[in-house]
Amino acid sequence: MDDKMVGQLFLRFSAIWGNKWNSQFTDAAIVPIIESERANGLAGISTESIRRGINASRDSLEWPPSIAEFKRICLGIPDKQSVIAMVVKGGGDALSDKIVGMIGSYEVRTRPFDWVLRQAENNFNIALAEITENEIKTQFKAIPE
């Protein structure tokens, strides 16, 4: 994601969430860091997916999304609890399969439910940060326009 696109994203978020978004920029020194983190976190996601993510976020979120949450929305990935439910069952889509791989399929099958659940929750954001749009585009239905 280039600087121009990050700037446009920030303007859209400002228009959508107003002070809920703008209040985090009270220190001008942090703005370039926040912009850089957004750009890095959303690298590799298509412009079309970002546009759908903005529209879906505007329509469903009361507060601006975190980088991980916005990435998930852009890519059409189900919510965290749905993915974790799939992990507990042994996987079945790109993100839950990645988490199962991080935990170990043997452990998912043999460890107590509570242990698997904790491991899935602990690994969700890590796996989400690592997954790419190409890995999931055939797995999840894109967000409707």
Residue-wise pLDDT tens digits, 6-63:
889 999 999 999 999 999 888 889 888 988 999 998 988 889 999 999 999 999 999 9
Predicted pLDDT at 137: 58
CA distance 92 to 97: 6
The pair of structure tokens assigned to 14 is 């400002």
CA angle 87, 39, 44 (to 5 degrees): 55
Q: How far apart are the first and last CA of the chain?
A: 21
Domain ranges of the chain: 3-75, 80-136
The pair of structure tokens assigned to 1 is 């994601």
